[in-house]
Structure 1
Amino acid sequence: MDTNFDPYTKRVLIAGATVLGFVLLALILQRVASVLLLIFAGILLAVFLDSLTSLVQARIGLARGWCLGLVVLLLGLAFAASGWFAGPPINDQINRLGERIPSAIERIQATVAQYEWVRSFLLGPSGSGQGISFSGQAMSFVAGGITNTIGALASGLVVLIIGLYAAATPSVYIDGAIRLLPPARRSRGREVVRALGKALRWWLLGRIASMAIVGALTAVGLWIAGIPLAFVLGLIAALLSFVPYIGPIASVVPAALVALADSPNKVLYVLVIYWAVQLLESYLITPLIQERAVSLPPAVLISAQVIIGILAGAIGVLMATPLAVVLIVLIQMLYVADTLGDSVPTLGE
């Protein structure tokens, strides 16, 4: 049997095999993306704990295990103290937030019901005579919320375990990964790992600082404007700003609903406050922080959030930015520097 193919046929077969390989790889990644990102989140936690542990160890000179235990203890005490002193008022504001949002939705429903074209646009021609009601979906919503909560707690436990073990003995995992490389490439592999750790540390520092400032400015601005639940809305803004660009936009929604339930005129105040905070964050706070921390182009961040979010859902959006940091460092060191031979400063330097 003649297995020799002409050059054109070979090119077609190679192209087809390549496309098939990429399709199979995409399907596999879609199946395991969430698990891989959970592991990556654990590694990110380990980087955070390792940074604090190294700082404590440099100050007091104890063994690494004792320093890590001290860091975990201090963090636990800080969270416990925060929960003890700030927990009741935060819980009260969260409960009030939960009470206000339905009334804001009802106000929106009443407004929409006054305009037939808006109802037709939202419900379609066949649904123009229907009311906008969520009562029929209440039980499924509650069941879904319970399932999602259990899943989030389980995922958080996995991340915590991975982070603690990796932070306790990072050399075990780093050495194990380096041994998978050819001997001639192991030295370069260690350089890449160190660069990745440094870039992630500086990225975490910049993100935490930015989150704290955004949350404080938002809470103060809402409080001055007389918006109810200013503290918890500022906390939501701080947490959601962990995800650049998408998070700040999402944080406007609960604040706007609270303002709408209190007074429709206050919605404009909320929009102005959030716009002003994001303006300060984009043009003053972030540039000052990123003089030393890691800076990424906006198009790269948004593209990473969309692509990884499609593959892995919410956790993909959360982990998109640090994953983009890792990919850029790898490209800079392994492709631009090693393959092309160009000298380029890596992120975090």
Structure 2
Amino acid sequence: MNTDGGRSGNDYRMLLVVGVSLAVAGLLIYALPVLCLIFAGIIFGIFLSAAADVLSRRLRLPRAPALLIILIVLLATGMAMVFVIGPQVVEQAGELARRVPELWRASEAAIRRSEIGVTILNLVREAMGEPDALPDLSAIIAESTQMIGRLTGIFSSVVGTLFGAIIMIAMAAYIAFEPKLYRQGVLFVTPAHRRGMVNHMMDRVAVVVAWWFVGQGLSMLVLGSIMTLGLWVIGVPFALLFGLFTALMTFIPNLGPVIAAIPVLLMALTQSIEQTLLALILIVVLQNVEGLLLTPMVHRRIIALPPALVLAALLVLGSLVGLIGALIAMPLVATMIAAFEAAKRYENHEALEGSG
């Protein structure tokens, strides 16, 4: 027998499989931004569909007019935010970028006034290998300025993605207008013996996505508003900018509020110790509002999300895709976990019925 020929044939097939797999992986990575945009359109369409169903039942309207009302309200709200809040946010971001070196020096001076602050600065000095002098902050200031520049670039890139956002909204609207058509399409390409399970998975994912949107929107609105109003009352500058940043950080579970608190406390520290304490109290209040009110009220209706897994997805998608990847990280993890748990429950239910 010619075993060499058979072995060569197997080797060629293995190389072909590896080559095709690498090509598919490369294509997926190359098309990842488009895939993320499609996924965003799908989950937004699921939310719009669920919202249209609720409004149709409450107002006793046909489904299409109810969905049209929702789209008009969302569009009007978005335009109002852009034209009313947008100019102030841009102005405050520019002013903050110009004042970074000055604010950093003021923060350092405030830290030096306490023994704990001096101890921290000494530890930093020793860690930097400068035992006889405080560390040179010029490099830190330059890096901070560059970071602000990168953040400004991120905000400006949002404007450049308006076309993608329009495509996403259009896709979501099409899905919301005819959800049964797309559901039937998925079931059509699903093997017959798996259609019951896939249908159950889609039902569960729809519930999770809808409640995730409700919880996320409510958290952003409440936490961002409280932060903005609270900072404005106690006199901390750039209150609107920090409130918006707090709202955006709600996409990062557990770690997000900590990230949002750091610039607020540093800014308050440049004003006075009293304002710093008031800002700290405000942050603690926000943590309790989210943990004791918003999370039990809304997020209990969806599955629990492992923070480490969400953070890993956020880092990977954010580095590969950018802003759109960071925004879909949490709903992507929620969708995957919901689909997996629904499939598992369906199989267990089928097993119990089969044994009975």
Is this a same-fold pair by TM over 0.5?
yes
Q: Would you say 1:312 and 2:321 are equivalent positions? A: yes
Give the aligned partner of residue 225 of structure 1.
234
Deviation of residue 326 (structure 1)? Answer: 1.3
| CA RMSD between the two structures | 4.4
Q: Does 1:255 align with 2:256?
A: no
> 1:213 & 1:40 partners in 2: Cα distance?
26
Residue aligned with 1:241, SS:
helix
Q: Please identify which structure carries the higher helix content.
A: 2
Q: Offset of 1:70 from its aligned partner?
A: 2.0
Q: Structure 2: how far apart are the matches of 1:35 and 1:15?
A: 30
Q: Structure 2: how far apart are the matches of 1:146 and 1:314?
A: 9
Q: What is the aligned partner in structure 1 of residue 175 from structure 2?
A: 166
Tell me, which stretches of 5 or more residues in structure 1 are unaligned? 123-127, 344-349
Query: Which secondary structure does the structure 2 equivalent of 1:227 belong to?
Result: coil
1:180 counterpart = 2:176? no
Counterpart in 2 of 1:104?
100
Compute the displacement of 1:183 (Å). Answer: 2.7
Shift of 1:319: 0.7
Report the count of equivalent residues.
330
Structure 2 match to 1:92: 88
Q: CA deviation at 1:226?
A: 2.1
- CA deviations over 1:177-232 (Å, ceiling 9, x no partner): 21111233323322221111111112222222222232233234323432134344
Q: 1:309–1:317: 8 Å Cα contact kept in structure 2? A: yes
Distance 1:53 1:151 in 2: 30
Q: Distance in 1 between matches of 2:262 and 2:64?
A: 44
Q: Distance in 2 between matches of 1:130 and 1:335?
A: 56
Identity between Structure 1 and Structure 2 (%) = 26
Corresponding residue number in structure 2 for 1:289 = 298
Contact persistence 2:56–2:66 (CA under 8 A) = yes
The question of whether the paired residues in 2 share the 8 Å contact of 1:240 and 1:248 is answered with yes
Q: Distance in 2 between matches of 1:141 and 1:321?
A: 23
Deviations 1:148-192 (A, max 9, x none): 244321221221111111112122222112111123332332222
Provide, for residues 261-301 of structure 1, a one-character-per-residue CA deviation record: whole Å limited to 9, x for no partner: 65587456545533542354235532343333443222332
What CA deviation, in whole Å up to 9, does each residue of 1:34-58 have, x standing for no partner?
Answer: 1111111111221221122112211
| Alignment check: 8 A CA contact 2:200 2:343 kept | no
Question: Gapped runs of 5+ residues in structure 2?
Answer: 109-120, 130-135
1:36/1:271 CA distance change after superposition, 3 Å: farther
Conservation of the 8 A alpha-carbon contact between 2:249 and 2:256 = yes
